[in-house]
Amino acid sequence: MTRRAGIISVLLALLVAALAAAQNPSTEGSGAEGDISRYRVPANLVELVEDGERDFIIVDVRTPAEYRTGHIPGAVNIDYREIGDRPPKVDRDAMVVTYCRSGARASRAQATLERMGFENVVNFGGVASWPEELVTGDSPR
């Protein structure tokens, strides 16, 4: 193997490792107040919902029809295309957890909210990651 091929191989390996790390965010958190990274894991979001002690809102950014078919308990529905005009009614420093079908629209909604000054926005990803039973209908329950 030539030196150039060796360098290219190392760079490709580093790129693959970086992509893998980006697709699998760390689920380890310090647990310190303000550390929201641990809530990316479904089981920990369940804990957050059950605790009810922290100021947060869960926003389903799918369409109303998708929302009615099954959503996380307590989630409000704001279509990602409308979130800039109808942001969640919480303080800008409250935790906002977004989710959709796969995580792509939730990511767009997260970016919009962050541009609007929301400080603690977490993209939960897809609704299928929710390990508990979903709620159907129009109400967040």
Q: What is the DSSP letter of 74?
A: T
Residues 6+ apart with CB under 8 A from 30: none
Which backbone phi and psi does 78 adopt, to 5 degrees? -135, 110
In the residue annotation, 41 being an active-site residue is answered as no
Catalytic residue among 100, 109, 113, 122: 100
Q: What is the DSSP letter of 41?
A: S
Query: What tokens appear for 129 in the block?
Result: 């990651």
Q: Read out DSSP for 75-138? A: -EE--TTTTTTS--SS-TTSEEEEEESSSHHHHHHHHHHHHTT-SEEEEEEEGGG--SPPB-SS
Q: How many residues does the chain have?
A: 141
Residues recognised as catalytic: 100
